[in-house]
Chains A and B, each alone.
Chain A
Amino acid sequence: MKKLAILALGALALGVASAQSNVIKIASVSPLSGPQSALGTAIAQGAQMAIEDAQARFQQLGFQLQFAPQDDQATPDVGVAVARRIVNDPDLLAIVGHLNSGVAIAASEIYKDTNLAMVSPANTNPRVTDRGYLNVNRICGRDDVQGPVGAEYAVRVLRKQRLFVIHDKTPYGQGLAEAFAARARELGAQVVALVGTEEASNFQPLILQMRAQRPDLVYYGGIYDKGGVLVKQMRERGITATFMGGDGLDASDLVKIAGSAAKGVLFTTTAGPISTLPKAAEFARRYKAKFGKDPEAYAVYAYDAANVALAGIEAAIKANNGRKPTREQVARAIREVKLDGLTGRIEFDSKGDRKLSDYYVVGMKEAKYPGEVLRVIQFAPPAARQ
């Protein structure tokens, strides 16, 4: 019986393949190797779970749903090369990714040529959606809100007055740090330094500047792989200022790198810890059973992002009378998706930002991930600027 079914399926597949492929692919693009792979792998695995959940549903619609994880190595040139390669696959209808805004901005220029829809779980740089592309959406918040949220907390709640702001010179890190610094100045705090560095190991010059400037808070716009080293070296050299950053620090590897120096680190994030998302508990359990580890925050967001993409594709299939939709039809349908995800209500505004996003301030009471949510603030994205 089973054999027969497989035979029949095979014949069906052959028959359809000759006319039009009934395969639909969704790709995740994120760093699967290199220093940021902890976050990138979480994105791929979150998306994988959503796609595997939906495979039976798509089977009923007559489509075979496939998942194609890609590695962008967290660098724009690799991201663009991957984008060029995958846009040529006609079965590919949506992208879940990327991790890094700098990579997403560059790669989405390629996706745009064929209106290949991208749903981002993690790209917070304003320019990702401010370009107004039909195919680009995100379900996380924005740096021009995340940075100010951090500044409000640092200045108003913690009453920090001398702020030393560092970024990693990527669009993500710099955008975040500058938004933080601007809001902090408006609130009356003094930004004693706003510096960028691509350094990965030797932060001594910055630490020497801290000795001279005596800041009471150091803000880092960047990713945990460098931020963790920075805070560790600061503590070793006796700098006791509070260390704060954005969602780039939101990874369990921060603790691995910084060790005991992770204690007391604060960060804002657009992806709340799993424990704050009541609906994510079941997901976390299944994730752990499948991959043998607890999901990082972005796994949940990638799961939601993939579900948004899937919902869009399903709507487009229905609108297209059950036939395979074009990429443009999918992109239009995704913009219209309304969905209750694990991270809350998902609806996009006209440029692809989520209508309401949560921003979390998280503190590491002990050197243990995840930290404790200190505050949750809900924010709408700023209106489109042209």
Chain B
Amino acid sequence: MTVADLLAILPQTILEGLLLGFVYAMVALGYTMVYGVLGLINFAHSEVFMIGAVIGLEVFRFWGNPEAPVIPNPFLLLLVALVFAAVGSGTMAVLVERFAYRPLRKRGSKNILVPMITAIGVSFLLQDLTRIYAALRHNEFNMQYRTYDALNTTLLLPFETTIQVKGILIIVVSLLMLFALTYLVNRTKLGKAIRAVSQDMQTASLMGINPDVIISRTFLVGGSLGGVAGVLFGLLYTNVTPYSGVLPGLKAFTSAVLGGIGNIPGATVGGLILGQLETLSGTYLPFLTNGNFGTEYKDVFAFLTLVLLLLFRPQGIFGQNVSEKV
């Protein structure tokens, strides 16, 4: 292995990290928005993400059967999958809020741990419900995304880098969703209300905003982003299991903290950074350490970097010191 060999794969590594980073970023937004309005870490969000991946998979299965496709165009099929996953995951997130978190809030539970433990419980529940569904519906645990030549066509970029059509789509969809979200939060009435509730729920309600409605909408938006991210994740890595959400969810949550939890641009940047850290360390660690630290240390290395970063900037990259939240 010469240095030239290592540098030759660097552009490709950064590109793969970018794709992963966008997925993390979109999931991280769900965590950060809910935290913004409720101060709650919604651990069930990783399952909302996974359910999005499963919904997308079902769309591909039902309408994209290569022998008798209902929707013959893979691009159109992907669009339908994204819409269904966004609606399905968004609805799921709203239901979780309505039936698990709102009753606790109404009873005036002041302890932050109670909704958090509930969130963990909901997360297990959704995992196993999906497991039952997958077992009954397909008698399978590992569910596979269909692959289409049109989506898998490989394009050659400069520096001997290749990207598949689906990679381009992932970047495009992610960017569109991020812009749409920024617009929604900063330029619309709903966005204004979300920001108001996240700053001060009581005062906002005095101004004629119904916090319950706004919280519900926040879950809808965050859940939809998670669902879209789930489809992109499935498209990228092809294998989905009922537990597929756990690790990406944890990493997306970390991204949100890294960017400054509650901060929307922060979650995006955090996700992109974590995607790069993970892919770069996974690829280069064995070469740089002469094989002593293999790819299996990629998460150790990525999270170690995070610990260091947070030591110097505990509020995250974009976060402000908001002590009244705690």
Contacts and interface: CB of A to CB of B under 8 A. Distances in A.
Interface residues of A, number: 35
Secondary structure at the B interface, as helix, strand, loop or mixed, is: helix
Contact of B237 (A34, A35, A233, A256): A233
Contacts of A195: 286, 294-296
Interface in A231-290: 232-233, 236-238, 253, 256-257, 259
A188 interface: no
A200 B16 contact: no
Nearest to A206: B295
B292 to A, nearest CB: 11
Interface residues of B, number: 37
Contacts of B282: 204-206, 208
A257 B141 CA distance: 10
Interface string B103-118: 0000000000000000
B286 A212 contact: no
B295 A197 contact: yes
Interface string B73-106: 0000000000000000000000000000000000
A201 B142 contact: no
A238 B5 CA distance: 18
A196 B292 CA distance: 11
A106 interface: no
B20 A236 contact: no
Interface string B123-158: 000000001000100001110100100001010000
Contact of B144 (A209, A211, A212, A256): A256
Given A201-B237, A259-B147, 16 more contacts: A33-B131, A35-B241, A193-B294, A194-B294, A196-B294, A197-B296, A205-B13, A205-B283, A208-B16, A209-B286, A211-B9, A229-B239, A232-B239, A236-B152, A236-B238, A257-B144
14 contacts: A33-B141, A34-B141, A37-B141, A196-B295, A197-B294, A201-B244, A202-B20, A208-B282, A211-B9, A212-B5, A212-B287, A229-B237, A256-B140, A256-B144
Interface of B: 1, 5-6, 8-9, 12-13, 16, 20, 131, 135, 140-142, 144, 147, 152, 154, 162, 164, 233, 237-239, 241, 244, 278-279, 282-283, 286-287, 291, 294-296, 298
